[in-house]
């Protein structure tokens, strides 16, 4: 039975029904956080060593604060989009399991439908 689940999981993976992106976003966020913070520290140290002192500290602090804030918002947008995908997949699975007609069935037009206007001769 585990072979069936593994096969199904691989099929889901290759059919893009299973999203790995949420895990990747967390990793990418952590890497970006480290890079932005390191860049801000480099700006602070370079500002102090160039005798601009306060300006370097302010610029480095701004990069650390606002850079990480903007990076967090960007990563949260990614998470929102991937979460929307997961919710749409759950909705599709729930509607297909309920035994009711699917979206494809509802899009089919029946010529004997009483709601269609009569054709003009």
Contact 62, 41 (CB under 8 A): no
Compute the distance between CA of residue 15 and CA of residue 7 in angstroms, rounded to an integer. 12
Please give the C-alpha separations between residue 66 and each of 12, 38, 60, in angstroms, as whole numbers: 39, 14, 10
pTM of structure: 0.61
Comparing 85 with 107, the larger pLDDT belongs to 85
Please give the C-alpha separations between residue 84 and each of 50, 87, 93, 112, in angstroms, as whole numbers: 48, 5, 14, 37
pLDDT at 50: 74
Burial class (CB in 10 A: 0-12, 13-18, 19+), 108: exposed
Is the predicted pLDDT of residue 10 greater than 80, yes or no? no
């Amino acid at each position: 039975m585990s072979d069936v689940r593994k096969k199904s999981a691989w099929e889901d993976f290759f059919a893009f029904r299973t999203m790995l992106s949420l895990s990747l976003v967390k990793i990418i966020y952590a890497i970006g956080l480290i890079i932005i913070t390191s860049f801000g520290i480099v700006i602070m140290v370079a500002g102090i060593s160039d005798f601009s002192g306060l300006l370097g500290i302010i610029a480095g602090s701004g990069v650390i604060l606002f850079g990480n804030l903007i990076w967090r918002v960007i990563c949260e947008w990614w998470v929102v989009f991937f979460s929307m995908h997961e919710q749409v997949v759950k909705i599709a699975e729930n509607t297909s399991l309920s035994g009711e007609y699917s979206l494809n069935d509802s899009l089919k037009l029946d010529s004997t439908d009483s709601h269609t206007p009569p054709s003009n001769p």
